């Protein structure tokens, strides 16, 4: 009897060992169809996936850089189906025209996880992982309110340099900020697009400085590159910015170069748009593998950065927000 028990235990252990050995030999196959490589943010997003879904972590990642070509991206997804991958990750270049391809994935039984940008005309994907741009806009607004109160600034006259018109980041950030501006009765003087570029930010700010000379005390740039341009233009107009100066400068994205300018006391506060989606995607994949329900929309954790003096307490949708003080270590760790 004893012998029999022992034999069962040994057989069981052997079976477990064998399955784990099989698992180690057969990594989870993942196909990732990335938009392209147009910015530091995008590069960070790619690297995040390559780091998380590495061979050491038990994954086999097929990565395709679609170079902003929507046809190439759909082709990439179809090739993933042919390769019979276990999961497909898509950062859709455009929001529409996905139903046929996603149906094919569905029929092949491959779950699709959409990251960053959204798909509007199909719901045949397991989950979407990305940023809540509106929350970023709301956070910037609520922070500004708390900061202005703390500094004793009574009147807010804001100029906005927005991102590429119609992009989800521009719509969300504008909506969020404008909602707060309306709530507190702020004066948003003008909103012009800088197309998310430094040259665009420079030209728009150059004109703002002339059109609204001495009439503004807040400048909101919807990404760091625009903020770099706006700073040059304000320098040339003799307008000072950053904590304790004429103009409160707010920026979004919080890339390394942006945080360096926060540290240097130029950008007053920087609101992150987290490019590191992969850890959140991995969570979704683990849940799917275990047969658990996953949420259709997964929002990533994002950080709000400022220097010590500009750290204030504020709430977004009734939730207290935590701010991160920018130090050399924080900059070092940023993408």
Residues that bind another protein (CB under 8 A): 37-40, 43, 67, 165, 190-193, 195, 197-200, 202-204, 206-207, 210-211, 225, 228-229, 232, 234-240, 256-257
Distance CA 209, CA 238 (A): 9
Torsions phi, psi of 303, nearest 5?
-115, 150
The distance of closest approach from Cβ of residue 119 to another protein in the complex, given in angstroms and rounded to an integer, is 24
- Residue 149: CB minimum distance to another protein, A: 28
Q: Which is nearer to another protein, 39 or 122 (CB)?
A: 39
262: Cβ contacts below 8 Å, ≥ 6 apart? 254, 268, 269, 270, 305, 306, 307, 326
- 297-318 burial, b at 16+ Cβ within 10 Å, e below that, comes to ebebeeebbbbeebbbebebee
Helix (H, G, I), strand (E, B) or coil at 284: helix
In the complex, minimum distance from the CB of residue 266 to another protein, in angstroms, rounded to a whole number: 11
Report the nearest approach of another protein to the CB of residue 226 (Å).
Answer: 11
Nearer to another protein, 213 or 317 (CB): 213
User: DSSP code of 27?
Assistant: P
Nearest CB to another protein, comparing residues 31 and 194: 194
Nearer to another protein, 74 or 266 (CB): 266
Number of Cα atoms under 13 Å in the Cβ half of residue 107: 8
**Residue 233: partners with Cβ closer than 8 Å, 6 or more residues away:** 201, 202, 203, 204, 205, 206, 208, 209
Minimum distance, C-beta of residue 38 to another protein, in the bound complex (Å): 5
- In the complex with another protein, the residue whose CB is nearer, 54 or 240, is 240
Compare residues 146 and 159 and give the one whose CB is closer to another protein. Answer: 159
Tell me 301's DSSP state: P
- Parallel, antiparallel or unpaired: strands 127-130 and 157-162: unpaired
Nearest to 269 by CA among 279, 278, 259: 259
Shortest separation between residue 178's beta carbon and another protein, angstroms: 14
Q: Give the residue with the Cβ less far from another protein, 111 or 258.
A: 258
Instruction: Give the integer Cα–Cα distance in Å for 239 and 233.
Output: 9
Nearest distance from residue 131's CB to another protein, in Å?
Answer: 20
């Amino acid at each position: 009897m004893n012998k029999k028990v022992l034999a069962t235990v040994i057989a069981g252990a052997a079976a477990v060992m064998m399955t784990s050995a099989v698992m180690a030999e057969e990594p989870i196959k993942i196909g990732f169809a990335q938009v392209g490589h147009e910015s530091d943010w995008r590069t960070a997003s790619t690297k995040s996936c390559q780091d998380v879904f590495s061979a050491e972590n038990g994954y086999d990642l097929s990565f395709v850089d679609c170079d902003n070509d929507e046809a190439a991206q759909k082709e990439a997804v179809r090739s993933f189906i042919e390769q019979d991958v276990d999961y497909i990750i898509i950062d859709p270049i455009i929001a529409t025209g996905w139903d046929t391809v996603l149906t094919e994935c569905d029929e092949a039984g491959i779950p699709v996880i959409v990251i960053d940008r959204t798909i509007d005309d199909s719901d045949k994907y397991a989950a979407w992982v990305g940023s809540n741009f509106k929350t970023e806009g709301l956070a910037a607004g609520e922070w500004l309110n708390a900061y202005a109160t703390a500094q004793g600034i009574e009147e807010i006259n804001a100029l906005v340099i927005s991102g590429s018109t119609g992009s989800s980041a521009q719509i969300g950030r504008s909506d969020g900020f404008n909602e707060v501006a309306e709530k507190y009765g702020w004066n948003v003087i003008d909103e012009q697009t800088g197309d998310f570029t430094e040259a665009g930010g420079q030209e728009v700010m150059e004109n703002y400085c002339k059109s609204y000379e001495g009439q503004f005390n807040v400048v909101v740039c919807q990404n760091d590159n625009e903020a770099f341009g706006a700073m040059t233009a304000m320098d040339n107009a003799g307008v000072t910015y950053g904590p304790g100066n004429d103009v409160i400068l707010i920026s979004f994205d919080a890339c390394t170069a942006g945080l360096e300018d926060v540290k240097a006391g130029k950008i007053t506060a920087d609101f992150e748009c987290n490019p590191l989606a992969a850890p959140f995607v991995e969570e979704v994949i683990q849940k799917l593998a275990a047969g658990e329900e996953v949420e259709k929309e997964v929002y990533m954790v994002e950080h709000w950065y400022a220097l010590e003096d500009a750290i204030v307490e504020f709430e977004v949708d009734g939730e207290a927000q935590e701010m991160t003080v920018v130090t050399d270590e924080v900059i070092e760790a940023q993408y």
